[in-house]
Structure 1
Amino acid sequence: MINKIIAFSIKNKFIVSLFVFALIGAGIHAMMTINLGSVPDITNNQVQVITVSQNLATEDIEQFVTYPVELAMANLPGVEEIRSVSRFGLSVVTIVFKDNMGTYLPRQVVQEKLNEVKNDIPENFGEPFMGPITTGLGEIYQYTIKPKTGYDTVYSPMELRTIQDWIIKRQMALIPGVVEVNSFGGNIKQYEIALDPERLNAMNISISEVFEALENNNINTGGAYIEKNHMASFIRGEGLARSLEDIRNIVVENVDGIPILIRDIASEVYFGSQMRYGAFTQEGREAVGGMVLMLKGENPNSVIKAVKERIAEVQKSLPEGLEIQPFLDRSELIQRTTSTVAKNLIEGSLIVIFVLVLLLGSLRGGLVTATVIPLSLLFAFILMKLTGVWANLMSLGAIDFGIIVDGAVIVVEGTVFEIHKRIKEGRTKFSQTEMDEATYVASSRVMNSAFFGQLIILIVFTPILFLTGIEGKMFQPMAYTFGFAVLGATILSLTYVPMISSITMKPAPTSSWFGREEHRLEKFSEKLMKGISRLYDPVLQLSLKHKLSVLFVAILIFGSAIFSFSRMGGEFIPNLDEGDIAMQAFLRPGSSLSETIKRETEIENIIMENFPEVKTTAARIGVADIPTDPMGFDFTDSFIILEKDKSKWVSASSKEELIEKIREKLAHLPGLNFSFSQPVELRFNELLTGVREDVAVKIYGEDLDV
């Protein structure tokens, strides 16, 4: 079978060439459109159920909201784990499902249960809803609304938050791949009425009557339509309050034909702000920002590109003096990661080409073998695109060019050997028919062993394909990508390499400059291989004479390796340097929001004043508009955005050293503890386990006072 494929490829060069060009075209298209990320998304298959009840204490939230939701979700099919967080005014229940249930089936069964559990939650205790369909890599773009120079005092935090919610957030809707835009920071604007108890008592009006009057007089109504002069006129009653004056003029009660208005019983009607449970600071002052959440499974590179295009359009509609500035852009991490992978792949391929040319003694043979590398990668990109495997650091970084070109090296080396053999037999000129014959003889002689060797390599990676959970999500893309590349190299070694070798490997006349140069290269390669052989032959002979000694040394080395391995430290995967720092500042438990804001601004001012490498700092406190991250008031999530060009650093030479110096600078602040991580790593830890640290202790019991 293998010999027939080789013979067909050599005989039908045009057909094989067409397939190669088709491979190049399809591969380039797949490479340009493939899902591109920084690291594999290892977030488990989870659904968050969120309930907001702003004035409810933690114990009541746990008893009347969290517990009924947990109980209702416990018997759903495919549930692996249920965990929850209950805080003042907030309940977040996370239900983890099996991965094979997909994305939307778990949400469907959860929604069916939510319709039932709503009846078990007391009235006015909040209504549970599901969190957005996103993952640990979903926070792709975070930005702030920043006043330009000279406009620092023009816009208040309330006005900035209103602009975020009513201008920016609404225009960011309908972007393909964006599931939600989360707002944080500032004050949510609301209309407030300060009632005068003495006036209420004097006019014999209760607060419930005021509530009812406000509700009934703040609504638009419809009145069908009337026909007149062959035309239909639609009737509409406008009753929505559109200004403070409208609220002041709302009628509460009519006494003897005299209307009692809101202004008659209120000491003041004014713009106020909703009770807030979170804040956002940047560079030592309060700010307002937003976070773009990507739909699970979407291509982050293309989604971020669409987000940036929309941001540029939204920027034009902002009030004068404001601009949108990103402080955490996931595309930068993707670009740095992919550029690192591309750099390593290019350097690796150049090294392989150099070694091949040097050892084969043939420039053409080395280049023919080297062309298998990009063609195999394009073949892998096509299959990755078809199977939904993402291109990232783990999947592309595992490609071994030495293994990929193994089959091609054997075919080309066999062809060179066959040609030299025939030259020694007296043949000086080779027709195309003779080249086809020589290539077929060489390829058919060596390709059987090469094919089964590559097949064994593919079989070795098969167990990785059956990994499940986090391990499967992390390492399966690597196994698939490597397997696709080796499969492509095997097919090319059977078809493309024999075909192109029969065309390009014809001996060049020594009278030409190319022939002379290749002859010199061949002589140099022969001397190099003879030198290596002279060093290796004595070692081989000595090993064959002292078999037991060699066996003993091998066993000793193996035992030493096992002993050393048992004493080594271990980790799941090496940490990816994201380029930025995520810092958590922990205050005394029970600290107020205003106190945390004050301490966080102190921290940011110290960092910005002492470390020029830091481009900006930003911190989230408490919960955002959609509380997918249920934080308390007594700790912060700070993002320290660093200069990516380390040649411009002056305070430290590495991130580890910079973290230590930041820790030293902040050590004099009383009552604060700090933890350092990275933005994506921090989010992954929280979503996977419910805690952000590497080690967590759970305490169970009935009596909280123990």
Structure 2
Amino acid sequence: MKLPEKVRTRRSAPGHPPQPHEEKVSLGLAGNLARTFITSPLSPMLLIASLFIGILGLLFTPRQEDPEISVPMIDIFISYPGVSPQQVASLAIDPLERIMSDIPGVKHVYSASERGQGMVTVRFKVGEKLGPSIVKVHDKLQSNLDRIPPGVSMPLVKPKGIDDVPVVTVTLWSEEVDDSTLRVLATDVLQRLKEVPNTGQGFVAGGRSQQIRIEVLPERLAGYNISLDQIARTIRAANEEKRVGTIEKNTSHFTITSGHFLKSGEEVGRLVIGTHDGAPIYVADIANVVDGEEVLTRMVNYFSGPAGSSDKLTGVAPAVTIAIAKKEGTNGVTVAEDILAKLESLKGRLVPDNINVEITRNYGKTANDKVNELLTSLLGAAIAVSLLSWITIGRRPAVVVITIIPIVILITIWSAWVMGYTINRVSLFALIFSIGILVDDATVVVENIFRRWLHDGETRIDTAVDAVREVGNPTIIATLTVLSALLPMGFVSGMMGPYMFPIPLFGSVAMAFSLFAAFVFTPWFAYKLRPKMNALNKAAIREEKTQDLIGNIFRPVIEPLIQSKFKGRVFLAVIVVLFFAACSMFYTKAVAVKMLPFDNKPEFNVVINLPEGTPLPTTASFTFKLVDALKGVEEITAMQSYVGTVSPFNFNGMVRHYYLRMQPWQSDIQVMLLDKGDRERSSHEIAESARALLTPIAEKAGAKIAVVEMPPGPPVL
């Protein structure tokens, strides 16, 4: 049958040479993702959703200055009255140490003994949870109660964790009110501040408590034949209220109680102890009953510094300090802000005008300032990368890259929120460190898409997809290579491990999402911004001029090294020599080696230890002498001295057990500095000068002092 002339067929004519066979190339993971999303309406929705999710993460992720490290430390206190330190250690403390060391997850067990009492500290491995650790210690103690020697008290267990560190401390001071009144007021203020949501433990440092003292007169006891036990039993029996029954009358039901709690020294003085010659003997007959402050066993004072506020200056004034921590997993910035807002509302109502309120610690502000500072640095790095992209790869490709960078960063911050981490200086450092790598994936993809469009002479979708396929596998391999270099950092042991863990974690998350964005968002956005061929040719000419300009600088340097073997070998030898010379600087200590650089903190502490047995007044006098010397440091705004009592501790102080420093011969000086933007010297330089100033004074008095700065990383025992 003869076909009509207009009918055509794809079959080759007889004698025609065989047609070449076009082998279909697999698109791979990158190409398939690009083909799926390059024209999909889901692409802009995913892009916008990623942006808003990232903004939510930035707003709601808790902010901390440093990563939170779980290092459970549990103190076990025992009392062994009348026993020497050596016997306390051998009979009670050493066996307790051996028992505690058998607990799984324990890193170290150490102890201290003194006359009549001792303490064992159980430090668990980094990363162990505080709750289960407490349960392990209690279980071990309960199963070994039969091994407690006679006379040893029931062990008292007191756990400590990073969330016990106060985030806000407030010092109340006045030249018109004594420390006893300040303590009563501080206790009331603490109760009100504890109403703020997400606040943790709180305590008041300093001030004498109100008490009723019964100063027994021995000659009268002998005259009336009264013993101390009789006095104690009488007061104990009178100072209680008991429920003795109920009664119903008509339509009412009443609870009957007997006795009442003693409320004043006058009531104590009227208590009848016994009789003598038919007449009652009152407590006031055989003792002086004093209703007032307790005997001075601790002192807290406030001092103005040279850089202090002009309207709140004092040479020395009695003070008390309120310290409040936050709950685990809460945002330290918002908790601190809420506490200070509540405190502001109490001024003029609960806190009178003649009492000054000084914020002596605000870790919420320091954390927020540090995070904002690093976010600014992150923004600066992103802008720098964006400008470089604009100059080197052209306007439209640069817009694509510039759009992808913030989305990748925001999604990484959101992932920190989802995984239960915080925004801190280490996690932000990870993003700043990796921002140059983050931009690579999108840059490689968009540049190859525009190169292929220029090569083919048209901006087709299949060309863009194939361009993504071409660079897909190398881009994936490059990303995996960087990830493999970062991940080993996540297996560092000790406190430094979890402290530095955000670097491999967030660096890996950021690069993984940047790879996804390069294959999904970049082709779609590049196609939406595709230029006309005329504009693409002009951009190619501009890029060629830029490359020629760079080449004019680069070629005269590199070409002689390539063309001449002698010059190349000399250059390689110089590099090798310089490399080993740089490595030798570590061995010869020509340069100081530190894991982390010094930080610029707004405070430091002076820890003072006088010879054991020194009385409180002597310790206070020496502490005041050091404070007077520090008044010559012009960057100091204020100081608080804590004599015979604990000062508000930080993470370093918690690990080193500074919260147990309550002996009369021990004291601390908390030094507050100007904000780092208002001074030229760093806090480390100021601390060094303070150390040089105070050391001769301490050596002359036979005291030991330590100028303690907050370490830039986790503390080391």
TM-score, normalization by structure 2: 0.83
**For 1:205 and 1:303, how far apart are their aligned partners in 2?**
56
Q: Which residue in the other structure is 1:94 paired with?
A: 121
The residue type equivalent to 2:435 in the other structure is F
User: Within the alignment, does 1:143 sit opposite 2:170 as a pair?
Assistant: yes
User: Within the alignment, does 1:644 sit opposite 2:675 as a pair?
Assistant: yes
Q: Which residue in the other structure is 2:396 paired with?
A: 364
SS of corresponding position for 2:562: helix
**For 1:622 and 1:66, how far apart are their aligned partners in 2?**
25
**Given that residues 85 and 630 in structure 1 are in contact (C-alpha distance below 8 angstroms), is that contact kept between their aligned partners in structure 2?**
no
SS of corresponding position for 1:139: coil
- Show CA shifts across 1:529-588 (max 9, x none): 443554466246326786655554454444334434433443332232223222223434
The residue type equivalent to 2:200 in the other structure is V
**Given that residues 183 and 624 in structure 1 are in contact (C-alpha distance below 8 angstroms), is that contact kept between their aligned partners in structure 2?**
no
* 461-470 or 86-95, larger mean C-alpha shift: 86-95
Structure 1 unaligned segments of length 5 or more: list them: 424-429, 690-706
The residue type equivalent to 1:643 in the other structure is L
Judged with a 3 Å threshold, the aligned counterparts in structure 2 of structure 1 residues 319 and 72 are, in CA distance, closer, same or farther, namely: farther
**Given that residues 647 and 659 in structure 2 are in contact (C-alpha distance below 8 angstroms), is that contact kept between their aligned partners in structure 1?**
no
- Show CA shifts across 1:281-302 (max 9, x none): 3214442112223344443223
User: Within the alignment, does 1:501 sit opposite 2:526 as a pair?
Assistant: yes
Judged with a 3 Å threshold, the aligned counterparts in structure 2 of structure 1 residues 289 and 647 are, in CA distance, closer, same or farther, namely: closer
Q: Which residue in the other structure is 1:84 paired with?
A: 111
User: Within the alignment, does 1:412 sit opposite 2:437 as a pair?
Assistant: no
User: Within the alignment, does 1:471 sit opposite 2:496 as a pair?
Assistant: yes
Q: Which residue in the other structure is 1:596 paired with?
A: 619
**For 1:297 and 1:564, how far apart are their aligned partners in 2?**
43
The residue type equivalent to 1:477 in the other structure is P
The residue type equivalent to 2:229 in the other structure is S
**For 2:204 and 2:317, how far apart are their aligned partners in 1?**
17
- Show CA shifts across 1:418-475 (max 9, x none): 232234xxxxxx6xxx442332232222222112111111121121222232231122
C-alpha displacement of 1:267 = 3.4
Q: Which residue in the other structure is 2:465 paired with?
A: 440
SS of corresponding position for 1:107: helix
User: Within the alignment, does 1:354 sit opposite 2:387 as a pair?
Assistant: yes
- Show CA shifts across 1:623-652 (max 9, x none): 439986222443433221111155556xxx
**For 2:151 and 2:266, how far apart are their aligned partners in 1?**
30
- Show CA shifts across 1:24-55 (max 9, x none): 11111112221321123446332223458999
**Given that residues 133 and 179 in structure 1 are in contact (C-alpha distance below 8 angstroms), is that contact kept between their aligned partners in structure 2?**
no
Q: Which residue in the other structure is 1:287 paired with?
A: 319
User: Within the alignment, does 1:5 sit opposite 2:4 as a pair?
Assistant: no
* 634-643 or 253-262, larger mean C-alpha shift: 253-262
Q: Which residue in the other structure is 1:697 paired with?
A: none
Q: Which residue in the other structure is 1:572 paired with?
A: 595
Out of 26, 30, 33, the residue aligned to residue 53 of structure 2 is 26
Structure 2 unaligned segments of length 5 or more: list them: 1-28, 304-315, 649-656
Judged with a 3 Å threshold, the aligned counterparts in structure 2 of structure 1 residues 27 and 646 are, in CA distance, closer, same or farther, namely: closer
Q: Which residue in the other structure is 1:450 paired with?
A: 475
Q: Which residue in the other structure is 1:168 paired with?
A: 189
User: Within the alignment, does 1:374 sit opposite 2:406 as a pair?
Assistant: yes
Q: Which residue in the other structure is 2:653 paired with?
A: none
C-alpha displacement of 1:262 = 0.9
**Given that residues 83 and 116 in structure 2 are in contact (C-alpha distance below 8 angstroms), is that contact kept between their aligned partners in structure 1?**
yes
**For 1:300 and 1:50, how far apart are their aligned partners in 2?**
31
**For 2:293 and 2:143, how far apart are their aligned partners in 1?**
36
**Given that residues 218 and 240 in structure 1 are in contact (C-alpha distance below 8 angstroms), is that contact kept between their aligned partners in structure 2?**
yes
Judged with a 3 Å threshold, the aligned counterparts in structure 2 of structure 1 residues 680 and 633 are, in CA distance, closer, same or farther, namely: farther
Q: Which residue in the other structure is 2:639 paired with?
A: 617
C-alpha displacement of 1:655 = 3.8
Q: Which residue in the other structure is 1:187 paired with?
A: 208
User: Which one has a bigger Cα radius of gyration?
Assistant: 2
**Given that residues 335 and 364 in structure 2 are in contact (C-alpha distance below 8 angstroms), is that contact kept between their aligned partners in structure 1?**
no
**For 1:505 and 1:544, how far apart are their aligned partners in 2?**
46
* 130-139 or 258-267, larger mean C-alpha shift: 130-139
User: Within the alignment, does 1:37 sit opposite 2:67 as a pair?
Assistant: no
**For 2:173 and 2:81, how far apart are their aligned partners in 1?**
29
The residue type equivalent to 1:605 in the other structure is D
C-alpha displacement of 1:350 = 1.5
Judged with a 3 Å threshold, the aligned counterparts in structure 2 of structure 1 residues 83 and 234 are, in CA distance, closer, same or farther, namely: same
The residue type equivalent to 2:496 in the other structure is E
Out of 178, 195, 219, the residue aligned to residue 199 of structure 2 is 178
Out of 659, 662, 667, the residue aligned to residue 629 of structure 1 is 659
Q: Which residue in the other structure is 1:156 paired with?
A: 178
C-alpha displacement of 1:160 = 1.6
Once the two structures are superposed, the pairs formed by residues 302-701 of structure 1 within 5 Å of their partners are 302-315=334-347, 316-319=349-352, 321-360=354-393, 362-399=394-431, 400-423=434-457, 434-507=459-532, 522=543, 524-532=545-553, 534-535=555-556, 538-539=559-560, 541-542=562-563, 549=570, 551-568=572-589, 569-608=592-631, 610-624=632-646, 629-631=659-661, 632-647=663-678, 653-663=681-691, 665-666=693-694, 667-668=696-697, 670-671=700-701, 672-679=703-710, 685=715, 688-689=716-717
Judged with a 3 Å threshold, the aligned counterparts in structure 2 of structure 1 residues 385 and 369 are, in CA distance, closer, same or farther, namely: same
Judged with a 3 Å threshold, the aligned counterparts in structure 2 of structure 1 residues 656 and 562 are, in CA distance, closer, same or farther, namely: closer
SS of corresponding position for 1:391: coil
Judged with a 3 Å threshold, the aligned counterparts in structure 2 of structure 1 residues 313 and 58 are, in CA distance, closer, same or farther, namely: farther
The residue type equivalent to 1:604 in the other structure is V
SS of corresponding position for 2:602: coil
**For 2:424 and 2:440, how far apart are their aligned partners in 1?**
25
**Given that residues 70 and 126 in structure 2 are in contact (C-alpha distance below 8 angstroms), is that contact kept between their aligned partners in structure 1?**
no
* 516-525 or 395-404, larger mean C-alpha shift: 516-525
The residue type equivalent to 2:398 in the other structure is G
SS of corresponding position for 2:57: helix
- Show CA shifts across 1:189-218 (max 9, x none): 211011222222222111100000000001
Judged with a 3 Å threshold, the aligned counterparts in structure 2 of structure 1 residues 586 and 257 are, in CA distance, closer, same or farther, namely: closer
**Given that residues 185 and 279 in structure 1 are in contact (C-alpha distance below 8 angstroms), is that contact kept between their aligned partners in structure 2?**
yes
Aligned residues: 660
* 335-344 or 584-593, larger mean C-alpha shift: 584-593
Judged with a 3 Å threshold, the aligned counterparts in structure 2 of structure 1 residues 268 and 10 are, in CA distance, closer, same or farther, namely: closer
Q: Which residue in the other structure is 2:241 paired with?
A: 220
CA RMSD of aligned residues (A): 3.3
Judged with a 3 Å threshold, the aligned counterparts in structure 2 of structure 1 residues 32 and 52 are, in CA distance, closer, same or farther, namely: farther
C-alpha displacement of 1:274 = 5.3
- Show CA shifts across 1:471-495 (max 9, x none): 3112211110111111111110010
Judged with a 3 Å threshold, the aligned counterparts in structure 2 of structure 1 residues 571 and 485 are, in CA distance, closer, same or farther, namely: same
User: Within the alignment, does 1:105 sit opposite 2:132 as a pair?
Assistant: yes
C-alpha displacement of 1:275 = 6.5
Out of 254, 270, 286, the residue aligned to residue 291 of structure 2 is 270
SS of corresponding position for 1:573: coil
The residue type equivalent to 1:157 in the other structure is D
Judged with a 3 Å threshold, the aligned counterparts in structure 2 of structure 1 residues 479 and 412 are, in CA distance, closer, same or farther, namely: same
Q: Which residue in the other structure is 2:18 paired with?
A: none
User: Within the alignment, does 1:209 sit opposite 2:234 as a pair?
Assistant: no
